Structures are given as C-alpha cells and as structure tokens.
Structure 1
Amino acid sequence: MIKTGIVGALSYTGRELLKIFEKHSQAELVYCTSESSGGKTGTFFPFLRNNIHLQKYQTQNAAASCDLIFLALPPGAAHDYVYELTTLKPELKIIDLSGAYRLISPEDFSFYYGFEHRHISLAEKAVYGLCEIYREKIRKAQLITNPGCYPTAALLPLVPLIRKNLVEPKDIIIDAKSGISGKGKKLHEDSLFCELNENSCSYKTGTHQHTPEIERILADNGLGIKVLFSPSVIPLSRGMLSNSYFRSRAPLEKLIETLASFYKNSPFIKIREAGRYPAILDVAGTNQAHINIFEDERTGFFLAVSAIDNLLKGASGQAVQNMNIMYGINETEGLL
C-alpha cells in the first residue's frame, strides 16, 4: 500500500482526493492536514464512510509518515513546503496541485503569481503532470506539478496536433469557461450567489497565470507562440468548457483522426462523434475529457472543443492518475 498524505484536506481539491481514496485499493491515507481544523477527528463530509484525523501541518511529520504527499494548497504555501519536504526526504514523492512549480521563468512567475520564486532549480526538475502527454516522464518522476484546469482542457486537443505539425504557428485563441469552484474556497465578492447567479463574466484576459503555463507546454511540444487566453466564470459549481481557435492546412478529417489515434489507449479521453459537441454535464463528476473539432470554412478557423470537470480531470482526478502512473498502477484505479 502507498502511504499517502493530503496537505489541505478540506479544500475543494482536498475534498475530491478524500472521496477518491475511499475507493482506491492501492493507497492508504495516513496523513491529512487542515490549518483551520487541525486536531479534530470526524467524517467532515457526508460522503466519507470513515473518520479522518486532521493535523496541523509539520514538515517532519509529513515526511516521516508518507511515501507520497498531495499538496492541495495555494501557491504561496506550496512553494516553500515542496522545497522543505524534498530537502528533508529526497525520496518522497510529491504531487503539487498548486501552480507553484509550473513555470520555470522567474520573471513570468513574479508577474503572474505576485511573489518571487526562490526555488527555480527545483521547478526545472518538476515533471508537468499532463498524464496523456507526459506519461513516460511521469513514471520516473519524484515531483509532479499538476496542471491547471484551464491548461488541461486547452492542451489535450492541441498538443497531439502540434506534434504532427498540423497547427499553423499563429492566431491561437483560447476562450474557456469554468464553474465557480475554480476560484477556490476563499471568499470573493464576485463569487457571491447574488453576483454570479444568472450571470457570467470574463476575467484576467491576458494576465491569467495559466497563460504562460499554456505557452510553455505548447513550446515544449514544438509551437513557440503567444496565445490569447480569455477565461470566464459561469454559474455552475463545477465543470469547464474550453474553445480553442486555430488555423491548419489539414482537412478536418485528418485532425480528428490524429486525435483518435493519439488517444486510442487513453481511458479517460473520449473523441466525440462527428458533429457532437462536448458538454459539461457529460463529464461532471468524472475524470474524463471529451473532445471534438469543428471547422468554420468561411473564416478558415478550426475550433477544438473540450469539456472536463475542473475539480477532477482539471485537478484531483488527474493528480491521482499521476500517482497511479508513478507507481505502475492501472491508471483508472480509484477513478472509475
């Protein structure tokens, strides 16, 4: 059994991890923390069958207790915890769900996250945990930086096409919409029911922290360009729909065939039937990603549409999928 810990167990992503580990046959949850409820024991959520004991986080206790630790924390906290844990116990495996180790440019990190990254050399060693794209690197990894939800939805349809030189190096526009849980539990005025109900708005266009993350992975796969990324929030608890506009000289059939071939052995990726649009309701509560491509002959643009659950395939589900790959377990363990 893999001795597993969750730091930040009462966060939205921590909650999803707790739910997954109720049915994971290869992992034993031995260490859970919460800054607000440390020292308490209980089920905390109605879906939990067993009590969990929450502790205040201590680096030495975490390292001594676990084979692998999930960090379900804001970037500022995860930034230092990862460094402290890897320094104290180099053999410890870590999956960081924050954005603290997704960028390797100190300038980009300071601009998009608002504080100085003091461990860039560690970020350079971290493996980007987009499971279907970097599966072989993940198998050998000690530190996984779990992808953001928006990058997961946008990159899954684009990367296989880029690897086959089927995307023109210009005019990539990503318009993505997320349920409100993507903003986390911290109270924001624009997250209040009266502000969001029957409402939708864009935010952080051009300045969202997932912009350089998307561009980094596109460049790593052969397309070093800038993208226009515009996220929006919609009045749903969970779910994400991403529309990526791009140009290609290939016919639509070739693009769809390329995706189908690339993902033929990926249990969580489903290429929808011709003409069928991926929908949030079809993936909510699952670790699946539904993808399809459409063509606008009038403008010459293609549209890659993808739908995921932002808390599962966009966060905790993908994190457990990463763990499964790291330990040579069936990727679907705990996730079906």
Structure 2
Amino acid sequence: MPRTVTVGLDGSPESRAAAEWAAREAKLLGLPVRLVHVWEPAPEPPAQAPLPGAETYRRWTERVPREAAEGLRLRHPGVEVRTEHLPGRPAEILTDEAADAELLVLGSRALGGVGGFLAGPVGLSVVAHAERPVVLVRAGEQATDEHERDPAGIPSAAAAFRPVVLGLDTAHPDEDLIRFAFEAVHDTQDVGQELKRYGGAHAAIALAVNEAAFEAVASGLRRGGKLVMVALPAQGTVRVPIFDTVLGGTSVIGSIVGTRQDLAEVFQLHAEGRTRVIRESRPLSSVNESIDEVLRGQVKARIVFDLAEGG
C-alpha cells in the first residue's frame, strides 16, 4: 500500500497548521495526505443529564476531518486528501498510524525560538514511540516561513527554501535520520541553485529517467561544465536553455553504456563517500502496488524486491 503524509487532526489551530504543512509537503513528495481524527468514545450520560450522547458526540467529531479536507482540496488543488475517523486513545492510534506513513505530522504550540515546540502528552508519547519520522508544526506556520528572505528582506515563497538543519549524535549517528535529512533537501531545494551556490558542477552524470532531473543538473553546471546523459528520459526529450548553454560554454554529451574508466571512476567516487545509493527494499508481494507507484511518479529512486519476504 502506498505511503501517505499522515496528519493527527483534532480541530485545534495547531493541528490545522499541521494539515496545511502536510499538504505542501505531500505535493513535493507526490503523495496523498491522510487526515486522521481520533476520538475517545464517551460513555453514555445518565438519563437525567442534559448532555449529548456518545452517538451525537461521534457525529460532531466526524465534521472535523471532513471540513478540514474540503478546505485543503480547495487550497491545494492536485493533492489527494483522504480522511480517517478512528476510535481509541489518540497516542496509541497515532503511533500505530505512523508505522504505515511516509511521515506523521502533528501540531505544537508556538512559543518562539528553538524551545517553541511545546508538545502535549499525546505528541510526546508519539514522538517517543513512533518508528517513522514525526514532524511538529507550530500554530500559525505559513508557507513563506519555509523560505529565505527575498532581496527586500521579506520571507517569500519565490525565494529558496531555508536550509535543513540536522541534529546528530556524532558518537552514534543514525543512518535513517541522515537519509531523511538528505531526502528532505532533495525534495525542497532547487538542485541547480544549490550547485551554483558552491560554484557549479564541473560535470554531472544524469542517470535518472525523469527529464526534470536532467534539466535540474544542467542548470547547476559551472562555466565550461559538461552534462553526461546516460539514462534515457521517459518522454525522449530534454529541454536545454540555448542562451545559458552558449554563454556558459557548457556541453551535453551522450553515453550509452560508458567506458570501463567511467565505471572505475564511479566506484572510486562511491568508495570515497561522495555518492549515495538511494533505494528502497520491499517484499516481492508488493510488486503490483510498486509498479503503480512508479507509473504515478511516486518512487524517489530504485526499488529492490526481497525474494525472501514472500512472493
């Protein structure tokens, strides 16, 4: 089953901000948003108490994810939004739901500064027990908050995304955490712009079948740089800006299989830790769903099927 960007929604301003952030992230990742509202069944009140019963309370709480989903679909066209209404204890249910999610998004109270992420007991429990990434979003978080300031000093969605900060225990580095941070950079940053920040690439070897990948690395070449095209784009064409190519003196080279020297250089780069293989291991039984994800463009890299996990 394809992963989703899952949101714990309770109707609070914090959780609504989390839903907005999740919709923006889901668009970058090409994944659907799943709004999960957890309600704890209320006991039936005594006959003499003028309080709504459990069924009335349940129907009222069902409005929360439904109305939130309608708003997200209007503000984020093209993003698939699903809703789920589950009974139980919020901390336990959300921890279970995180296991099948690409990431779980929760709201937090905004107090400002690094210490501004104040999570309640539910959030603290989920962060402590979830095995998938959990993102905390402050109330009032806006799309422009994720971007650098423009030349006028104003945060703008047209500016580059702000850097991804990775807090790491250098004595015991976690590979999954490092991978998540690098994937976050890949999903949000303009690759060409990032390369230009470091002077541009002398050469780029394009191995992806997505034409957007070719165009991104081509825009990040330095003067006189070379783009080596190895893979074949799915659409069979790649757009190269003639003006920038001529003035920058860049060149595009085609290579069907490469040479032994090319292969030796690639292995050497990897041995030096300058390249990283992005792959995902799945059981063979998920082959049909995986093919569907590939066709929808939702797979970030290569999928390796484990024959030992079922067929």
Q: Tell me which interval the TM-score lies in, with the shorter structure as reference length.
A: 0.3 to 0.5
TM-score, structure 1 as length reference: 0.33
* Larger Rg computed on CA atoms: 2
TM-score normalised according to structure 2 size:
0.35
Larger RCO: 1 or 2 (CA < 8 Å, sep 6+): 1
Considering fraction of residues, name the structure with more helix: 2
